[in-house]
């Protein structure tokens, strides 16, 4: 087999695999969305000194960000302790190189854990906001309970 023939054969096989890989990443995004993601979450998978800025480490993240109204699995690199919220600094995983899409699979379980922890830690914040609004609007607790029961019935979760 010539070098050109081998290259063509590899290209055909890899392109088929890339389609499968992208399809599975898109499915992972759909599965994560089932968790009802309340806010962006991320997992720092690598931290190192790239000698770009003295004393600042580069941190690389696998995260979930809302881009154009849809929760997307993304990659981001930042020189700060925490990831930036702006979506223009995050790249959807399906737009990353094939190599990146392959090795990022290893960190998907940690991202799922980060999404769940983010949701859990958001509950007290939502409760506090509800309480403040209830007090500001002079809404009694029993009215709120009735409203929640009504919403649960509408969602098919009535007890």
Strand ranges for the chain from DSSP E: 41-48, 58-67, 70-78, 90-92
In Å, how far from its chain's centre is CA 19?
Answer: 21
For the ranges 14-28, 125-139, 140-154, the maximum mean pLDDT occurs at: 14-28
∠ CA 34-131-126, nearest 5°, is 25
Note the pLDDT of residue 56.
65
Quickly count helices (H) and strands (E) in the chain.
4, 4
Q: Determine the average pLDDT of the residues in 119-145.
A: 86
pLDDT at 147 over 90: no
Q: What tens digit of pLDDT does each residue of 41-54 get? A: 999 888 776 666 55
pLDDT at 66 over 70: yes
* Beta-strand pair 70-78/58-67: antiparallel
Nearest to 33 by CA among 83, 87, 72: 72
Q: What tens digit of pLDDT does each residue of 85-100 get? A: 555 689 999 999 999 9
Note the pLDDT of residue 22.
95
The residue to which tokens 């309970």 are assigned? 145
Q: How many CB atoms lie within 10 A of CB 31?
A: 11
In Å, how far from its chain's centre is CA 110?
Answer: 11
What is the three-class DSSP state of 96?
Answer: coil
Note the pLDDT of residue 34.
87
Bridge partners of residue 78, in order along the sequence = 59
pTM, two decimals, is 0.74
């Amino acid at each position: 087999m010539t070098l050109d023939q081998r290259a063509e054969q590899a290209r055909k096989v890899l392109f088929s695999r890339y389609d499968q890989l992208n399809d599975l990443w898109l499915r992972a995004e759909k599965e994560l969305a089932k968790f009802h993601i309340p806010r962006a979450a991320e997992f720092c998978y690598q931290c190192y000194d790239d000698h770009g800025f003295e004393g600042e480490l580069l941190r690389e993240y696998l995260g979930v960000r809302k881009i154009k109204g849809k929760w997307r699995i993304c990659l981001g690199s930042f020189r700060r302790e925490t990831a930036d919220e702006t979506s223009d600094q995050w790249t959807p995983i399906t737009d990353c190189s094939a190599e990146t899409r392959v090795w990022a699979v290893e960190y998907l379980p940690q991202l799922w854990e980060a999404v769940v922890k983010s949701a859990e830690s958001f509950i007290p914040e939502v409760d506090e906001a509800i309480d403040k609004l209830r007090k500001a609007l002079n809404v009694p607790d029993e009215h709120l309970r009735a409203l929640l029961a009504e919403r649960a019935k509408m969602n098919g979760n009535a007890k």
